[in-house]
Chains A and B, each alone.
Chain A
């Protein structure tokens, strides 16, 4: 009886320690299934459609910087993986800031839920990139302003850029990720 109790306590202790283990996390399994990203793209499209049909209380208070969504395949393929990753990560960061600002400007409650979804999805994409062994990258503020960014002043333009960015660069990056390529080949 004592042995049983001891074993139970030990198991419990190990579990707790596992949860509370700080710092280094075990390497995540790479998330190579693009259906995850497809799900995010669909939700971003829903938000864009909802914004288009919104008449009141859905405007951007000031112009924001957003990443360029243009993909020229020749140009894209010439870039190395790291540059591609940096481009995507900085773009995701800009979008997070822009969506946060839009959320404060918008008063429509339905749109609020959409925007919450989008912001949550952007954070999930960061997690997916982490799972693919892509190092986190925080762009310097000045550089982001100059290169590869646009200014948009309307909410619909912002959400359109958001959708196009996810469908284009983010997806291409995930498809090309080395971690996933190794599984295939």
Chain B
């Protein structure tokens, strides 16, 4: 029997020792956590904290090499209006080659100013003044539990506050909850309550929750405690709300039916918008694509229609200008126009040669200068106009397709001067209608114009002078453009738009300073719009 008692006592003793050890271990762990928190949070030395109403600890850290023995240090504390007292010190080693010196008090006075001094060998090394109730650091909340509530996306978190009398209602708590695997947590602060309902959670997620505690700072104050051990709980997965699902399906079905109905009723409109018809020139060329497979020459050969319908097409690039630049012929004012008509009546290929001759002449004069005598001569030279008309008619009759053309590449379009408005009008009318290419040039003596131009560029005078430009010829012979210093050239891009050209006249050659900026209206009748514009350099020697 005694043995039984003894054995029971022994068992109990062992149990209590184990429990005590566990609690001591826990206490030691908590203590260690608090020390590390304070080392992090508190900049002043010595670092002091209170754990309960009676417990008070101060410590400071020193390097092992620099610190002395324990008896070199003294810790004194003084309450307001009282004598100072000493606190016995303890030394503990710490990580990283450091030493911690501790002072522990079991009895404290709160709500009163406390001065603390640390001396080493009589020398003051640390000094601090504080109120003990303002440096609390508590144990983390214990028994943190979580449970589901009646609501699907809510969790009820509860804990037990640290056992401190008089301070329950002064405590505030911070709860942090995150989904497992996420780094961003949501924080909630709770005051004077030991439970919290987490709302607005995501369904089917595992949540991790932790709590820490602090005094609220009105009567007592301190540092945040360490985080409690985490607890985990999964929220219920989302349930498909049948009503919402069915409504969604019905509405989407109705929308689909409506859109289909609309599409079917307006399908032609939709098709036209989505796949617009690309215009083809097939209607203009009957049989070109269907019969001849796009072979234009064959189609041309087979039919006469092309010429009739769109003479402009064929004559655009290829027809030579029937007009010549009269001023081109010679710089001498005495050089009359009359020589020109004979030249013009020569075969057109020779015109080309003549062009070359003319081009080589270095002294090309400005038209304007020449214009006066020329014009005057022109006015008198009515036969020239007649010649022109004859010429043009001849051309028309011959119906030379102009494809073989004499003036294929290096053409200049020449500009004739005509001083007679009425004639010009007639000419205009005639030429406009019948000829694909015309350059009508009418100017007064004040007008200036180019001697050579790819398109007849004509300064617009107030008379009915009008230039209907034709297609510009390709002009590879830039050489001749640069030959004559006295030449002024102007190139025109035949694009059917009005263009402004300002022409500079050569002063030195003629002794006249004439500078004109002319409004030049480049009229191209609509049927000539298929002309291909070609762009030329404007080489202004002036």
On A, residues with C-beta under 8 Å from B are 34, 38, 41-42, 68-74, 150, 160, 164-165, 167-169, 171-172, 175
Contact among A42, A74, A165 with B111 in the assembled complex (CB-CB below 8 Å):
A165
Q: Is the CB of B54 within 8 A of A70?
A: no
Shortest Cβ distance from residue B52 to the other chain A in the assembled complex, whole angstroms = 9
Please, how many angstroms separate the alpha-carbon atoms of A72 and B133 in the complex? 11
Other A-B contacts than A70-B110, A72-B109, 4 sampled, CB-CB below 8 A, are A42-B218, A71-B111, A74-B107, A167-B111
B219 at the interface (CB under 8 A from A): yes
Q: Is the CB of B166 within 8 A of A172?
A: yes
Q: Is the CB of B109 within 8 A of A71?
A: yes
Contacts of B53 in A (CB 8 A): 73
B25 at the interface (CB under 8 A from A): no
Contacts of A34 in B (CB 8 A): 169
With A38-B219, A169-B111 as known contacts, state yes or no: A74 contacts B54, CB within 8 Å.
Answer: yes
Please, how many angstroms separate the alpha-carbon atoms of A168 and B218 in the complex? 11
Chain B contact residues (Cβ within 8 angstroms of A): what range? 10 to 19
Please, how many angstroms separate the alpha-carbon atoms of A41 and B300 in the complex? 110
Q: Is the CB of A38 within 8 A of B218?
A: yes
Shortest Cβ distance from residue A181 to the other chain B in the assembled complex, whole angstroms = 13
Please, how many angstroms separate the alpha-carbon atoms of A169 and B219 in the complex? 11
Q: Is the CB of B131 within 8 A of A164?
A: yes
Contacts of A38 in B (CB 8 A): 218-219
The list of the 5 closest CB pairs from A to B, nearest first, reads: A168-B111, A70-B112, A73-B53, A164-B111, A70-B109
Contacts of B79 in A (CB 8 A): 70
Please, how many angstroms separate the alpha-carbon atoms of A19 and B137 in the complex? 51
Contacts of A167 in B (CB 8 A): 111, 133, 218-219
Q: Is the CB of B112 within 8 A of A41?
A: no
Q: Which chain A residue has the least Cβ–Cβ distance from B168? A: A175
Q: Bits for B98-111, please: 1 = Cβ < 8 Å to A, else 0.
A: 00000000011111
Identify whether the interface residues of A are mostly helix, strand, loop, or mixed: helix
Q: Which chain A residue has the least Cβ–Cβ distance from B167? A: A175
Shortest Cβ distance from residue A124 to the other chain B in the assembled complex, whole angstroms = 17
Q: Is the CB of A69 within 8 A of B81?
A: no
Please, how many angstroms separate the alpha-carbon atoms of A47 and B123 in the complex? 37
B26 at the interface (CB under 8 A from A): no
Most chain A beta carbons < 10 A, residue from B79, B80, B109, B111:
B111
Q: Is the CB of B219 within 8 A of A72?
A: no
B113 at the interface (CB under 8 A from A): yes
Q: Bits for B232-259, please: 1 = Cβ < 8 Å to A, else 0.
A: 0000000000000000000000000000
Please, how many angstroms separate the alpha-carbon atoms of A74 and B108 in the complex? 9
- Contacts between the two chains (Cβ within 8 Å), count: 52
Contacts of A171 in B (CB 8 A): 219
Please, how many angstroms separate the alpha-carbon atoms of A73 and B133 in the complex? 12
Q: Bits for B361-393, please: 1 = Cβ < 8 Å to A, else 0.
A: 000000000000000000000000000000000
Contacts of B219 in A (CB 8 A): 38, 41, 167-168, 171
Please, how many angstroms separate the alpha-carbon atoms of A67 and B154 in the complex? 51
Shortest Cβ distance from residue B107 to the other chain A in the assembled complex, whole angstroms = 7
Shortest Cβ distance from residue B413 to the other chain A in the assembled complex, whole angstroms = 96
Q: Is the CB of A71 within 8 A of B110?
A: yes
Contacts of A160 in B (CB 8 A): 113
Contacts of B80 in A (CB 8 A): 69-70, 150
Please, how many angstroms separate the alpha-carbon atoms of A43 and B112 in the complex? 19
Contacts of A175 in B (CB 8 A): 166, 169
Contacts of A172 in B (CB 8 A): 166
Please, how many angstroms separate the alpha-carbon atoms of A165 and B81 in the complex? 15
Q: Is the CB of B111 within 8 A of A70?
A: yes
Q: Bits for B109-129, please: 1 = Cβ < 8 Å to A, else 0.
A: 111110000000000000000
Contact among B110, B169, B218 with A41 in the assembled complex (CB-CB below 8 Å):
B218
Please, how many angstroms separate the alpha-carbon atoms of A41 and B221 in the complex? 13
Q: Bits for B446-484, please: 1 = Cβ < 8 Å to A, else 0.
A: 000000000000000000000000000000000000000
Would you mind naming 29 contact pairs between A and B with Cβ atoms under 8 Å apart?
A38-B218, A38-B219, A41-B218, A41-B219, A42-B218, A69-B80, A69-B111, A69-B112, A70-B79, A70-B80, A70-B109, A70-B110, A70-B112, A71-B109, A71-B110, A71-B112, A72-B109, A72-B110, A73-B110, A160-B113, A164-B111, A164-B113, A164-B131, A167-B133, A167-B219, A168-B110, A168-B133, A168-B219, A169-B111
Contacts of A169 in B (CB 8 A): 111
Shortest Cβ distance from residue B85 to the other chain A in the assembled complex, whole angstroms = 13
Contacts of A168 in B (CB 8 A): 110-112, 133, 219
Contacts of B109 in A (CB 8 A): 70-72
Please, how many angstroms separate the alpha-carbon atoms of A69 and B113 in the complex? 9
Please, how many angstroms separate the alpha-carbon atoms of A6 and B111 in the complex? 61
Please, how many angstroms separate the alpha-carbon atoms of A72 and B402 in the complex? 125
Q: Which chain B residue has the least Cβ–Cβ distance from A171? A: B219
Contacts of A69 in B (CB 8 A): 80, 111-112
Shortest Cβ distance from residue A177 to the other chain B in the assembled complex, whole angstroms = 12
Please, how many angstroms separate the alpha-carbon atoms of A172 and B220 in the complex? 12
Contacts of A165 in B (CB 8 A): 111
